[in-house]
Structure 1
Amino acid sequence: MATFSLGKHAHVDLCDLLKLEGWVESGAAAKGTIDAGLVTVDGQVETRKRCKVLPGQTVAFAGQRVTVVQ
């Protein structure tokens, strides 16, 4: 499974993670994807665009998964 490192940061916003992973092309696309209920965090549909994704959480979209690590 892929991982995403937060580096010095405590969290990453869900919409930013989708862009940083290259799963969507823009912030608007990320927000639309999240609004449509197509993204899960730890297996639960997440519709909050600015949901703070923390270390240990797993995000999935369109058959792709990434676990956030410190």
Structure 2
Amino acid sequence: MREVQITGDSIRLGQLLKLADAVDAGSDVKQLLATGEVTVNGEVETRRGRQLARGDEVSTRAEDLKVV
């Protein structure tokens, strides 16, 4: 699991995926989420605006991320 450090108290899912280079461009986030292959804390998530806080875990088909 790769840790992704954020500067504020929270970050949106779409921003995290871009920050972690899980997508090439911000516009690719919507397509990735539409596949149903992104989970947040073990549950499928399709909202790119989902707020994440430190300790949340995000999984894609390619890798697992933890917000720190």
Unaligned runs of 5+ in 1: none
> Deviations for 1:2-60, whole angstroms, at most 9, x for unmatched residues?
111112x1111111111111111111111111122110001100011110111111000
- Aligned counterpart, 1:24: 23
Give the AA of the match of 1:3. Answer: E
Residue 6 (str. 1) matches residue 27 (str. 2): no
TM-score by length of 1: 0.87
The amino acid across from 2:45 in the alignment is: E
- CA-based RMSD of the aligned residues comes to 1.1
Superposed counterparts of 1:1-70, under 5 Å: 1-7=1-7, 9-69=8-68
The normalised TM-score by structure 2 is 0.89
Which ranges of 4 or more aligned residues in structure 1 deviate by more than 2 Å? Answer: none
Percent identity among equivalent residues?
Answer: 32
Q: How many residues align?
A: 68
